[in-house]
Amino acid sequence: MDTNKSNVAENDPQFEAAFQKKIDAEIKIEPRDWMPAGYRKTLIRQMSQHAHSEIVGMLPEGNWLTRAPSLKRKAILMAKIQDEGGHGLYLYSATETLGISRDEMYDQLHTGKAKYSSIFNYPTLNWADMGAIGWLVDGAAITNQIALCRCSYGPYARAMVKICKEESFHQRQGYEIMMNMAQGTKEQREMAQDAINRWWWPSLMMFGPHDADSTRTTQSMTWKIKRTSNDELRQKFVDATVPQAHYLGLDVPDDKLAWNEEKKSYDWGEIDWDEFRNVVAGNGLCNRERLQTRRDAHDGGKWVRDAALAYAEKQKKRTAAKKAA
């Protein structure tokens, strides 16, 4: 059966069975292939929210561009923030292959219909936060995104390969900031410890609710959109990051953290799920400010979009006139 027909109803049981066989055989699904409506909807939701997270994620760090401690640090932070913008555009483009427009996605973000990662609703109070964000937030993102490189949807998986390469630079530059401060003056060491105290638990929230509370995981794993569960990825991140904190001479703010020799991984405490739900529901410290900044930037950039469209229209007319001549 040729399941590359995209003109068949998206809930045809015959096609669903053939589709799942492709997924199980690790055959990538491409934009023109037939896919169940739910698969398309899940990808549009997750990929557009991923793109929103990249774009909104530029704001907390952008706050420190003009206050970077040196020209070198300013240049590195500038490069990182520009990368995040590129990741967002990359992911918006990959999501458009599923039949949603850029404007629709922006509207879903600006009206609060769409989510973005909770982590970006926390304030950045000082330069150590730039280190903690690169080290912990980008570190958590890499843990999650490496799994997404094996996602069943071709454009998403391929976007992840490029994005992960850049994320590893983001994580390293953050860890270097933390190392400089942890080996610096007493005040700098205290700032580094304060930053991990504030960013550790919100970084663990990035992996989503516990598997048992996840509304999406089972179906997403059947469709191989999600290759590893939220809790497994979170545990992987904890096991990799705790030794890095110890190397810096910093304490992880979790008094239940302990190495479990039998499991060969860390036991640790419990996330404050009320805080998680509160931030995801829009009541975090910076939710309103972040969304308003995005809306203002979108409105402020309208003249650029109009000019680009007018120029494209003019070019189209010029080409058509040349062809007609």
CB-wise, 171 or 193, nearer to ligand 3HC? 171
What is the sign of the dihedral through the CA atoms of 41, 92, 118 and 107? negative
Compute the least distance from the CB of residue 24 to ligand 3HC, in Å.
19
Compute the least distance from the CB of residue 113 to ligand 3HC, in Å.
9
Compute the least distance from the CB of residue 121 to ligand 3HC, in Å.
9
> Taking the CB of residue 210, how many other CB atoms lie within 10 A of it?
15
CB-wise, 3 or 217, nearer to ligand 3HC? 217
Compute the least distance from the CB of residue 64 to ligand 3HC, in Å.
15
24: DSSP letter: H
Task: Please give the residue ranges that form the binding site for ligand 3HC (CB under 6 A).
Answer: 45-46, 49-50, 53-54, 57, 84, 87, 115, 117-118, 137-138, 141, 144, 167, 205-209, 214-217, 220, 226, 230, 280
Distances (CA, A) of 101 to 108, 299, 307, 311: 11, 18, 19, 20
- How wide is the angle at C-alpha 61 spanned by C-alphas 56 and 63, nearest 5°? 100
CB-wise, 185 or 215, nearer to ligand 3HC? 215
CB-wise, 205 or 252, nearer to ligand 3HC? 205
Distance CA 202, CA 121 (A): 10
Distance CA 218, CA 129 (A): 35
> Taking the CB of residue 256, how many other CB atoms lie within 10 A of it?
9
CB-wise, 102 or 210, nearer to ligand 3HC? 210
Compute the least distance from the CB of residue 1 to ligand 3HC, in Å.
29
